[in-house]
Structure 1
C-alpha cells in the first residue's frame, strides 16, 4: 500500500510504498501493525491494534470558565500520545488518572468509573471558582496548582461513587461521599510511589497536626493522611484524616 508518514500525527512528510505486517502472539496480548518500506526495508510507522481499557483525555481550559472553549472537540492530550507533555499540570493530572484507574481496577475489578471503560476526561487550567477542583458528572476539572495525585484521585473517586452507591451530596450521605474521595485519594497517594514533595510518609503522632498544613499545633513532620499537601493552589493541606479537628472538621458524627 501507499503509506503517508506523519499523516496521523498531522505533520508534513512523504509517501512510502510499504508492506503492512500484522504482528501477534498466541497469548493475545500483542497485536501491532508495522509498516515497512518496500524499497529500503526500514520501519515507517507502527500502530497498536490493542486498545487498552484505560482511555484518558486531557483538555486545557486556558484560564476560561470550565470546561473551557475546547471541550470536547480539541483535546490537549489523548491516550497513546507521548508522555510527559510540556505542561507539568497536565502531566500530574494524566498520571494520577491512570493511577486511579489502576487502583479501582485492581482493588475492585472496575473498568473505569462506569465499569464499562468510560473515557476519563480531565481539564486543567480552569479559571473560575478558584482555587477549586470538581467532578461535574462528565469530567473532572482543576484550577491551577491543584492537579496533585491525591486531589485528582479524589475527584475521580466522586465519579466512582456516582456509579456505585450514588450517595447524594448532602448531610450524612454527602459527608460519606466526600470522605470516600478523601480516603481513596490518599490511598492512591500512598501506593503510587510518586512523591510530589520531599517529605516523610511516616506514621503520624497522636494529638499533633502536620507542619504541611495550617492546623494547630503544627509540629508533626509527616504528610500521611493529609489531603492536598502537594497542591500549590491551596498552599498546603486542606484536610487531615488523621485528626480532622486540625482543620476545624468534626472528628466524629453525633
Structure 2
C-alpha cells in the first residue's frame, strides 16, 4: 500500500474474496484515513540516520551502520498517520547474533516512533548438534526456516524423493521451536543442516572475510531427507545447494557439522579454484572440503560436536562407530594416503585427499 508514492507501514488493508473472485469482506489495520499534510520532511535523512544509530547503540548493538540511506514512508501503525523515515541499522547484538534493526523516525520532529528487529532466531534440537539457535522469519501466523542474517539461507524437505531437480517443501513451525533431537520428525535433520550452514557462513565471514560461498552475500540452500536410506550428501553447482540423505534406516542423517561445512566448501572450491574432480586435483578438491569442514567444527565450539581431526565421526556411515576419514593418520581407514607418491592421482579423490588432510593436521598440531 502506498500514499503519494510512499510505502505505508502499518496500514495494511486485506480484501477477502470468494472462490469466484467476488469481494466478501475487508480487514484494515487502522481506521484512520491514510493522509498527511505534506510529504516534505523537516529533518534531513542524515538526521534520521543518526537517530536510528543511537537507538541501535542504546539497545546494545555493536559495529552499527546504516544498511542504506533512510527511506521516506508513511507510518500508520500507531494513531494518526505521519510522515516518517525508516532506517535499517545493521550490527551485532551482545550475544554475537547479527542485528538488522528497523527504526522509524518522525520526519518532522526526529523523534523515534518505533523499532523492530528483522533478524529473528528460533531454537532447535538437532540429532548431531543438540540445542542450537537457528535463523527464522515470520510468515503469516507461522515461522519459516530462513536465515535472513546469512544471505537468506533456507532449508527444504525433500520427503525422501529421489528427484534431485526438486527444491522440496519449506519448513514451517507454529512456535519457532524446531526438532526434538531424534530422527522421528523431519525438522530434526533440518535443524542440523540449517545450523551447519550458519556456522559455515560465519566461519567464512568472520575468519576468512568472505561474504558467502561466492563472496556476493547470497546464500546457497539446503535440502534434507533425500532418497530412502541414502547414505551420502552432496553439493550441486546447478542448484547451488547442499543435499543430505538420512543414512541407514533413515535414522542417521548425514547432517553433522563437519559434513555441512564440507559440502558448502565444495561450492567455494568451484567458485574459486575450479579443481576438477579427478586425478590429483580431485584429491585437493576433496581435501579442501575436509579441511574447511574441520575448521568450521573447531570454530563453532559446539559441546555436542567439539572440534577434532576426524571426518564424519557423528554420522556412523560405517555402522561401527568409526569415522569416515582420519586426518592425523589417513591410512588408518585402510585406503587413504598419508603422503604423496607417484601414481597417486589414479586413485579415488576421497583416498588421495589424505595427503593434504595429513598436511593440514601437521600444520595445525605439529609433527
Q: 1:66 to 1:142 in 2, by over 3 A?
A: farther
**Matches of 2:215 and 2:271, distance apart in 1:** 8
- Corresponding residue for 2:242? 140
Q: Which is further off, 113-122 or 55-64?
A: 113-122
**Matches of 2:317 and 2:177, distance apart in 1:** 21
Query: What is the deviation of 1:106?
Result: 2.2
Q: 1:165 to 1:47 in 2, by over 3 A?
A: same
Q: 1:128 to 1:173 in 2, by over 3 A?
A: farther
Q: Considering Cα pairs closer than 8 Å and 6+ residues apart, tell me whether 1 or 2 has the greater RCO.
A: 1
**Matches of 2:115 and 2:318, distance apart in 1:** 44
- Corresponding residue for 2:223? 123
Q: 1:17 to 1:187 in 2, by over 3 A?
A: same
Secondary structure at the aligned position of 2:293 is classed as: helix
Q: 1:96 to 1:53 in 2, by over 3 A?
A: closer
Residue deviations 1:89-136 (CA, integer Å, cap 9, x gap) = 111111110111111112322111111122221100101682000001
Secondary structure at the aligned position of 1:17 is classed as: coil
Q: 1:82 to 1:121 in 2, by over 3 A?
A: farther
Q: Which runs of structure 2 are paired with 1:43-122 in the superposition (5 Å)?
A: 46=116, 48=118, 52=149, 54-67=151-164, 69=166, 71=167, 74-76=169-171, 84-86=177-179, 87-122=187-222
- Corresponding residue for 1:238? 324
- Corresponding residue for 1:227? 311
Cα contact 1:83–1:91 (8 A) shared by 2: no
Residue deviations 1:15-68 (CA, integer Å, cap 9, x gap) = 421899x9832643588x9974439xxx9994639x645320111010011536
* Aligned-pair Cα RMSD in Å: 3.8
Cα contact 2:150–2:219 (8 A) shared by 1: no
The TM-score with structure 2 as length reference comes to 0.50
Query: What is the deviation of 1:3?
Result: 2.8
Cα contact 2:150–2:198 (8 A) shared by 1: no
Which one of 62, 65, 71 corresponds to residue 28 of structure 1? 65
Cα contact 2:158–2:224 (8 A) shared by 1: yes
1:250 and 2:287 are equivalent in the alignment: no
Residue deviations 1:179-215 (CA, integer Å, cap 9, x gap) = 1111110111122111335xxx6xxxxxxxxxxxxxx
Runs of 5+ unmatched residues, structure 2: 1-7, 15-26, 35-48, 55-63, 81-112, 120-147, 180-186, 247-252, 342-367
Q: Which has more strand, going by share of residues?
A: 2
- Corresponding residue for 1:168? 276
**Matches of 2:53 and 2:115, distance apart in 1:** 19
Task: Report which of the two structures shows the higher radius of gyration computed on alpha carbons.
Answer: 2
Q: 1:158 to 1:243 in 2, by over 3 A?
A: same
Count how many residue pairs are aligned between Structure 1 and Structure 2: 214
Which one of 15, 30, 35 corresponds to residue 17 of structure 1? 30
**Matches of 1:243 and 1:60, distance apart in 2:** 37
Which one of 294, 300, 314 corresponds to residue 186 of structure 1? 294
**Matches of 1:103 and 1:231, distance apart in 2:** 22
Cα contact 1:60–1:68 (8 A) shared by 2: no
Q: Which runs of structure 2 are paired with 1:145-164 in the superposition (5 Å)?
A: 145-164=253-272
**Matches of 2:154 and 2:260, distance apart in 1:** 14
